Amino acid sequence: MKTIIAAYSQNLSGSRASVHSALRTLLAAPWPSQRDVRSWLQLLSVLQWVLSFLLLGPVSLLLLIYLVFTSFWPISALYLAWIILDWDTPERGGRRLPCLRRWPVWRHFRDYFPVKLVKTHDLSPSHNYIIGSHPHGILCVGAFCNFITGSTGFREMFPGIQPFLTTLAGNFRLPLFREYLMSGGLCPVTRRAIGYLLSQNGTGNAVAIVIGGAAESLSCRPGVTTLILKNRKGFVRMALQYGANLVPSFSFGENDLFRQVVFEEGGWMRSIQLRFQKMLGFAPCVFYGRGVTSVRSRGFLPYARPITTVVGEPVTVPKIEDPSRETVDMYHEMYVRSLLKLFNENKTKYGMAETDELHIL
């Protein structure tokens, strides 16, 4: 018995020594610093955003189709009925959730790049506005962060102004993705949806439109500042019809977030991109960014490059229900001049050279 007790005591002492040794090794190991933790949180916030925009819609659609052939088919049937009943909501102001705008993850998203908003002039809450957002880039990071999230202080800089951001109408036909978009304050880039916000939603509304759209994304690459704007005049006509002032904005650094394979004009790959753009409203871009595990690897995450969105001086627009082509052209020219002024006055402040020019096609 004494021999058994002695052996047990010896094993117990050995176990304690092993535990103490393991604890000492653990405590001696370097713990992640606050800076490391912040970097991980920033990376995860950008990852969830990219995955949401690229995969949430298609994956949800495929899942609902799959459920139709299982015993869970009532889920698909009920959601289809809900979409039919809720079909017009995106074009009637959507269904914004203020808590989503204040979601803490957006602060980490902002700090990853980082994204900054610069105000140059006041916007009166007694008017409505159409904000032209330039350039499109690949994923419109600057426009999303400034006009949808509250992380850059838009509501504090422009008190009484409610921002909205427009995107492709087809996105609001995808299950679950449409709810995600509406909850943040996005709406379809259609005449009906924009007209509702400018006429049926009171004053103090600022509808941001990425004017260049899919065509502009095809020429997006670092160091290139080319905008598709010369023949884009529908937003000016709507501003005149509803008496909404035009506000130019430019996101410096937007084109530096990804690298894109740009195909030659007239080539077969370029023709495929243009055909997709005409049929579906978007152009498939061949682009890459950094990887998830290393900035040196290639992946689908944007590079961490600073983005500064400057909101320029409003162009006062009268209300004309049926503006002539000459009137539209005149206010379009005024808008372009205001945008060029904004670009030239701020380009050297935010990473561009004095010799850099804004090319408008």
* Domains of the chain from N-terminus onward: 34-360 (3.40.1130)
Average pLDDT, the chain: 88
9-13, 212-216, 339-343: which has the minimum mean pLDDT?
9-13
pLDDT at position 8 over 50: no
- Nearest of 253, 223, 17, 235 to residue 112 by alpha carbon: 253
Q: Per-residue confidence at 141, pLDDT binned at 50, 70, 90? A: very high
Mean pLDDT score, 270-289: 72
pLDDT at position 286 over 90: no
Kind of pairing, strands 307-311 and 245-252? antiparallel
3-state secondary structure the chain: CHHHHHHHHHHHHHHHHHHHHHHHHHHHCCCCCHHHHHHHHHHHHHHHHHHHHHHHHHHHHHHHHHHHCCCCHHHHHHHHHHHHHCCCHHHHCCCCCHHHHCCCHHHHHHHHCCEEEEECCCCCCCCCEEEEEECCCCCCHHHHHHHCCCCCCHHHHCCCCEEEEEECHHHHHCCCHHHHHHHHCEEECCHHHHHHHHHCCCCCEEEEEECCHHHHHCCCCCCCCEECCCCCCHHHHHHHHHCCEEEEEEEECHHHCCEECCCCCCCHHHHHHHHHHHHHCCCCCCEEEECCCCCCCEECECCCCCEEEEECCCECCCCCCCCCHHHHHHHHHHHHHHHHHHHHHHHHHHCCCCCCCCEEC
Mean pLDDT score, 240-260: 94
Q: What is the pLDDT of residue 10?
A: 52
Mean pLDDT score, 190-219: 90
The pLDDT > 70 percentage for the chain reads 88
Mean pLDDT score, 263-281: 69
pLDDT at position 5 over 60: no
- pLDDT, tens digit, for every residue of 36-95? 789 899 999 999 999 999 899 999 999 999 999 999 999 999 999 999 999 999 999 999
Highest mean pLDDT among 136-150, 207-221, 262-276: 136-150
Mean pLDDT score, 139-156: 95
58-67, 211-220, 271-280: which has the minimum mean pLDDT?
271-280
pLDDT at position 330 over 60: yes
pLDDT at position 246 over 50: yes
Mean pLDDT score, 159-165: 95
Question: Which structure tokens are listed for 333?
Answer: 């020219």
190-194, 233-237, 257-261: which has the minimum mean pLDDT?
257-261
pLDDT at position 260 over 60: yes
Q: What is the pLDDT of residue 2?
A: 47
Q: Per-residue confidence at 6, pLDDT binned at 50, 70, 90? A: very low
Q: Per-residue confidence at 354, pLDDT binned at 50, 70, 90? A: confident
As a whole number of angstroms, the distance between CA 66 and CA 102 comes to 34
- Regarding pTM above 0.75, the answer is yes
Query: Which residue did the predictor score with more confidence, 29 or 109?
Result: 109
Query: Which residue did the predictor score with more confidence, 29 or 117?
Result: 117
Query: Which residue did the predictor score with more confidence, 49 or 266?
Result: 49
pLDDT at position 265 over 80: no
Q: Per-residue confidence at 297, pLDDT binned at 50, 70, 90? A: confident
